[in-house]
Chains A and B, each alone.
Chain A
Amino acid sequence: GQNIDQPTEMTATEGAIVQINCTYQTSGFNGLFWYQQHAGEAPTFLSYNVLDGLEEKGRFSSFLSRSKGYSYLLLKELQMKDSASYLCAVRGNAGKSTFGDGTTLTVKP
């Protein structure tokens, strides 16, 4: 089976940097995803890691360590619009993804 853990809530200040961690235990691994979801909306894709290391995309970066079953999403230069839920998802066998419960990030002025 799949088990994914991430913090429930985080708070950060506008302009700051925040790191959202995700740990996983899975029976198969074919990539890790990060999604952003605003209340009442569908998730939107942020990043995908399948090899160890850091993937940078603008203000957002994602890191993966497969041996440790660990990933983080790094958000720089936080903006108020970054307040949302961030979902970590692991794709296992047969293309199915299991999602964590999400981390609700609140950005304060």
Chain B
Amino acid sequence: GAVVSQHPSRVICKSGTSVKIECRSLDFQATTMFWYRQFPKKSLMLMATSNEGSKATYEQGVEKDKFLINHASLTLSTLTVTSAHPEDSSFYICSATDRDRPYGYTFGSGTRLTVV
């Protein structure tokens, strides 16, 4: 089955630093990747949609300069949280899909980011 690998699973960083989260599709070509953020006991909030080779489409209220998304290849998308602040602490999850699977949302394992 389709597998999406997400790294790191946990990261602690200092305020003001940047953190990069990687999301890789291991056995399929991810034409589209989605990045979500999840607060405790809340559902997933879509941050942005990225298509391979093009700029990401950000949801309203999400700062594109703060959350940099790169989808340079069909198997890799990265989310970089720049100049992190404690309020950026959250659970970040990617999901990937390809055009050949009608319900092809496969989620990565998530990244727990803590900014201190």
A-to-B contact residues, CB < 8 Å: 31, 33, 40-45, 48, 50, 87, 94-102, 104
Which residue of chain A has the shortest Cβ distance to B49 in the bound complex?
A96
Ordered by A's residue number, 23 sampled pairs between the chains whose C-beta atoms are within 8 Å are A40-B91, A40-B110, A41-B109, A41-B110, A42-B6, A42-B109, A43-B44, A43-B93, A44-B107, A45-B105, A45-B106, A48-B102, A87-B44, A95-B97, A96-B49, A97-B34, A97-B46, A97-B105, A98-B46, A99-B45, A100-B43, A101-B42, A102-B43
Are A95 and B49 within 8 A (Cβ)? Answer: yes
Are B43 and A87 within 8 A (Cβ)? Answer: yes
- Tell me the minimal C-beta distance from A56 to chain B in angstroms: 16
Chain B window 71-111, contacts with chain A (Cβ cutoff 8 Å), 1 for yes, 0 for no: 00000000000000000000101000100001101111110
Chain B window 22-51, contacts with chain A (Cβ cutoff 8 Å), 1 for yes, 0 for no: 000000000010100000011111100100
Which residue of chain B has the shortest Cβ distance to A31 in the bound complex?
B103
B-to-A contact residues, CB < 8 Å: 6, 32, 34, 41-46, 49, 91, 93, 97, 102-103, 105-110, 112
Most buried by A among B6, B49, B93, B103: B103
The 10 closest A-B CB pairs, nearest first, are A48-B103, A99-B43, A42-B107, A42-B110, A101-B43, A99-B44, A42-B109, A42-B93, A102-B43, A43-B107
Q: How far is the CA of A51 from the CA of B93 in the complex (A)?
A: 28
Are B49 and A50 within 8 A (Cβ)? Answer: no
Residues of B within 8 A of A104 (CB): 41
Contact among A40, A41, A48, A95 with B32 in the assembled complex (CB-CB below 8 Å) = A95
Residues of A within 8 A of B34 (CB): 96-97
- Tell me the minimal C-beta distance from B56 to chain A in angstroms: 12
